[in-house]
Chains A and B, each alone.
Chain A
Amino acid sequence: MSKLIYLVPLLPFLGFLINGLGRKILSKSSIAFIGNATILLSFIISVVLFFDVKATGGKVFTAFTFINAEAFKIDFAFQLDQLSSLFLLIITGIGFLIHLYSVAYMKDEEPQHYARYFSYLNLFVFSMLLLVMGANYVIMYIGWEGVALCSYLLIGFWFKNNLYNYAANKAFVMNRIGDLGFLLAIFWLLLKVGTVSYNEVFTEATLAKLTSTDATIITLLLFVGAIGKSAQIPLYTWLPDAMAGPTPVSALIHAATMVTAGIYMIARSNILYNLSETSQHIIAIIGLATAFFSATIAIKQNDIKKVLAYSTVSQLGYMFLGLGVGAYTGAVFHVMTHAFFKALLFLGAGSVIFALHHEQDIRNMGGLRKKMPITNITFLLACIAIAGIPPFSGFFSKDEILAAAFAKNPIYWIVGAATSVLTAFYMFRLYATTFLGKYRGTPEQESHIHESPKIMTIPLVILAFFSVIAGFFGIPKVLGGGHQLQQYLSPVLTTEKSFHIEHSTEYMLMGATTVLALLAILFAVNKFSKKPELDEATGLGKTLANKWYIDELYDTIIVKPVLSLGSFLKNIIEKSGIDGIVNNVGTFVQYAARQLRLVQNGQVANYIMIMVLAIVVFVLLWFYDSSLLRLVGKLFY
């Protein structure tokens, strides 16, 4: 039974190899079959493993010794425990639904590119599984780099459009900045405690070797990695641009799984983070700032995927807030619920884009409610879930984070609640503009709109089901639930440092956020269903629509100076310096050869003349200084 664990990552890898190598031979249907079947099998095994873990607890499976240095030894090992088995379910489960959805979404691609698409997706799932299953930071790092690569490949999937390639480059470069932090954290850990395996690091004896400064440095460096991967301030700008990829990719990578890798890493290292108050404060503040900041941007975006992208950044900010205030279960819970409703939102958006023939501007949509009933209903359910209306899933996870934030510092709660109001507002602005009101295209276009095929709507329905009920796994005690998720995760995640809020206070907080969110929804639906925002924004709205000009700021203070440094090095140092030396050596030799060639003019008298002169010179040398002659002699022998 336990050996099955190796199959979980191996199957997607096999799918990657078959589809990748056979992309010119296989037919589209076999490509789709291989791509889907491998993930489905992985998912089934994950379910089996999940119940196995639930019954018997976590285990470490060592495949072989990966690195064996004198000072330390790193195994290629998988850790199957409560946290990783939960992530396995999310990755393979949602991954499978998105694979299924892609079968129809990508059907217009040529077989070769179709195979390329599925092989990249499978490779991504493989890397993501490595990331969460690794039993030490090095294996996690391998998966970490793997997902960055796949993200790059899939954002730039339509590589004929150069803008998409730039977006892919941007994502990759920004991820690399974060990765450096992660790598340094691993080095620091090896230096200080000599091991990177979770089970060895998180023991009392090992932790005692770390001073609080070390703990702060390691946790902050790990957090830098998480900032890059999970798109937090200041490295978040790649995520909205990553929407250049096909929509199912955005759903899988840039909403449900890869971007939550940072959350997973910090939740996994929760014992380390408990050692450092400073790191926790920094994480909470950055998470909160990101949540609020990107929510404000989302208000004014008109690209359906951009709204969702900023919303993702904002929700990730929530999760970091949860991690920062010690609500590790809350953060993981939010990862889970967010994976459902955000994947659903992206797939719903994909369904709309598919029906409208790659139209993404919500100003050109409207009134899709009747044309696309299933997409409409599922999208609406997801919007309610993300807005945090009980009893939908988003409410429970968000509320858990907010309650913990309130216990830590009421200001956190105020900003967090404001963000959740903004979330409700922009999500329903999106919903109302897209699905309510009247269609704003030509009647001819309107007649072409149709509901997406079954293979796309079935994943929507399944995800919608879980978006609604996923919250029930974590009903807090105050609402009379047992919080099953917390119980399940308790062996891996330290329980939140006990925070005391009166039940009455907690009811009040829940009520306040819910009522505010409802008001925001009503306001948004009223405002945008009849009169959508079609004009260009002005004033503050314009600043928001331009994303606070952050991209321009980065461009001015980082990209341009680096580029001009590059062109300086290229044009001045490289061309006149290094190339200059090389070229001048060549030119000099050529010149010297041209001049020396004149000596060989075929006049015998000349040759003899030179010979005689040389003899005379040598004789004179011999007369005056025989040592010089010896030196000359040495040159020739």
Chain B
Amino acid sequence: MPVQYYIYLALILFSIGVIGVLTRRNAIIVFMCIELMLNATNLLLVAFSQMHQNIAYAANKASSAGIEGQLFVFFIMVVAAAEVSVGLAIIVMLYRNTRSVDINFLNRLKN
């Protein structure tokens, strides 16, 4: 399967994520959109890694080049999991304090 399809899919996912972050006010949805962007990135990493590997393999059967992309995906997943736990904790505290998950409430921090 050509790599372009993966790129298009990742672009679409990423754009949905961006637009969601920009337009929605519900903190949980914003959060989900961020996750969406991270996963779009992951998808790209995996896709390019696979492409890289295929080319290297065609040149040299013993090569393992391109494996790093897939490794990075795991790192990102770990970081994302940590981020989710912190982020959700923040949202829970936000809700406890304001009885709302509207991120526009957060501008009260500015003073």
Shortest beta-carbon distance from A139 to chain B in Å: 73
B107:A603 contact, CB within 8 angstroms: yes
A602:B22 contact, CB within 8 angstroms: no
User: Which candidate, A123-131, A239-247, A297-305, A605-613, is the interface stretch facing chain B?
Assistant: A605-613
B22:A604 contact, CB within 8 angstroms: no
For residue A608, which residues in chain B have a CB less than 8 angstroms away from its CB? 21-22
For residue B104, which residues in chain A have a CB less than 8 angstroms away from its CB? 603-605
B18:A604 contact, CB within 8 angstroms: no
For residue B18, which residues in chain A have a CB less than 8 angstroms away from its CB? 612
Considering the complex, which residues of chain B in the window 15-53 have a beta carbon less than 8 Å from any beta carbon of chain A? 18, 21-23, 25
Q: How far is the CA of A612 from the CA of B21 in the complex (A)?
A: 10
Residues 22-51 of A, flagged 1 when their CB comes within 8 A of B and 0 if not, give 000000000000000000000000000000
A602:B21 contact, CB within 8 angstroms: no
A605:B22 contact, CB within 8 angstroms: yes
Residues 75-98 of B, flagged 1 when their CB comes within 8 A of A and 0 if not, give 000000000000000000000000
Residues 93-123 of A, flagged 1 when their CB comes within 8 A of B and 0 if not, give 0000000000000000000000000000000
For residue B22, which residues in chain A have a CB less than 8 angstroms away from its CB? 605, 608-609, 612
Q: How far is the CA of A609 from the CA of B23 in the complex (A)?
A: 9
Q: Does B59 contact A (CB under 8 A)?
A: no
Interface of B is mostly: helix
Considering the complex, which residues of chain A in the window 595-629 have a beta carbon less than 8 Å from any beta carbon of chain B? 601-605, 608-609, 612
For residue B99, which residues in chain A have a CB less than 8 angstroms away from its CB? none
Nearest residue, chain B, Cβ from A600: B110
Residues 288-322 of A, flagged 1 when their CB comes within 8 A of B and 0 if not, give 00000000000000000000000000000000000
Q: How far is the CA of A617 from the CA of B107 in the complex (A)?
A: 27
Q: How far is the CA of A604 from the CA of B110 in the complex (A)?
A: 10
Q: How far is the CA of A608 from the CA of B25 in the complex (A)?
A: 13
Q: How far is the CA of A609 from the CA of B107 in the complex (A)?
A: 15
Residues 146-187 of A, flagged 1 when their CB comes within 8 A of B and 0 if not, give 000000000000000000000000000000000000000000
Q: How far is the CA of A603 from the CA of B108 in the complex (A)?
A: 10
A602:B110 contact, CB within 8 angstroms: yes
Q: How far is the CA of A609 from the CA of B18 in the complex (A)?
A: 9
Q: How far is the CA of A602 from the CA of B106 in the complex (A)?
A: 8
Q: How far is the CA of A604 from the CA of B27 in the complex (A)?
A: 11
For residue B106, which residues in chain A have a CB less than 8 angstroms away from its CB? 604
Q: Does B103 contact A (CB under 8 A)?
A: yes
Shortest beta-carbon distance from A425 to chain B in Å: 92
Nearest residue, chain A, Cβ from B25: A605
Q: How far is the CA of A567 from the CA of B109 in the complex (A)?
A: 55
Shortest beta-carbon distance from B51 to chain A in Å: 21
Shortest beta-carbon distance from A72 to chain B in Å: 73
Shortest beta-carbon distance from B74 to chain A in Å: 26
For residue B107, which residues in chain A have a CB less than 8 angstroms away from its CB? 601-604
Q: How far is the CA of A501 from the CA of B92 in the complex (A)?
A: 126
Nearest residue, chain B, Cβ from A616: B18
For residue A604, which residues in chain B have a CB less than 8 angstroms away from its CB? 103-104, 106-107
Shortest beta-carbon distance from A606 to chain B in Å: 9
Shortest beta-carbon distance from B41 to chain A in Å: 14
Residue with the highest number of chain B CB atoms closer than 10 Å, among A601, A602, A608, A612: A602
B103:A605 contact, CB within 8 angstroms: yes
Nearest residue, chain A, Cβ from B19: A612
Shortest beta-carbon distance from B102 to chain A in Å: 11
Shortest beta-carbon distance from A635 to chain B in Å: 26
Q: How far is the CA of A602 from the CA of B110 in the complex (A)?
A: 6
For residue A601, which residues in chain B have a CB less than 8 angstroms away from its CB? 107
For residue A603, which residues in chain B have a CB less than 8 angstroms away from its CB? 104, 107
For residue A605, which residues in chain B have a CB less than 8 angstroms away from its CB? 21-23, 25, 103-104
Q: How far is the CA of A605 from the CA of B103 in the complex (A)?
A: 9
Q: How far is the CA of A601 from the CA of B111 in the complex (A)?
A: 11
Nearest residue, chain B, Cβ from A603: B107
Residues 571-604 of A, flagged 1 when their CB comes within 8 A of B and 0 if not, give 0000000000000000000000000000001111
For residue A609, which residues in chain B have a CB less than 8 angstroms away from its CB? 22
Nearest residue, chain A, Cβ from B106: A604
Q: How far is the CA of A604 from the CA of B104 in the complex (A)?
A: 7
Considering the complex, which residues of chain A in the window 501-523 have a beta carbon less than 8 Å from any beta carbon of chain B? none
Q: How far is the CA of A347 from the CA of B8 in the complex (A)?
A: 111
Nearest residue, chain B, Cβ from A612: B18
For residue A612, which residues in chain B have a CB less than 8 angstroms away from its CB? 18, 22
Shortest beta-carbon distance from B28 to chain A in Å: 15
Residues 389-420 of A, flagged 1 when their CB comes within 8 A of B and 0 if not, give 00000000000000000000000000000000
For residue B21, which residues in chain A have a CB less than 8 angstroms away from its CB? 605, 608
Shortest beta-carbon distance from B43 to chain A in Å: 19
Residues 214-240 of A, flagged 1 when their CB comes within 8 A of B and 0 if not, give 000000000000000000000000000
For residue B25, which residues in chain A have a CB less than 8 angstroms away from its CB? 605
Q: How far is the CA of A408 from the CA of B25 in the complex (A)?
A: 110
For residue B110, which residues in chain A have a CB less than 8 angstroms away from its CB? 602
Could you list some 15 contacts between A and B, CB below 8 A? Answer: A601-B107, A602-B107, A602-B110, A603-B104, A604-B103, A604-B106, A604-B107, A605-B21, A605-B22, A605-B25, A605-B103, A605-B104, A608-B21, A608-B22, A609-B22
Given contacts A602-B109, A605-B25, 12 further A-B contacts (CB under 8 A): A601-B107, A602-B107, A602-B110, A603-B104, A604-B104, A604-B106, A605-B22, A605-B103, A608-B21, A608-B22, A612-B18, A612-B22
Q: What are the 6 A-B residue pairs with the smallest beta carbon separation, nearest first?
A: A602-B107, A602-B110, A609-B22, A604-B103, A612-B18, A608-B21
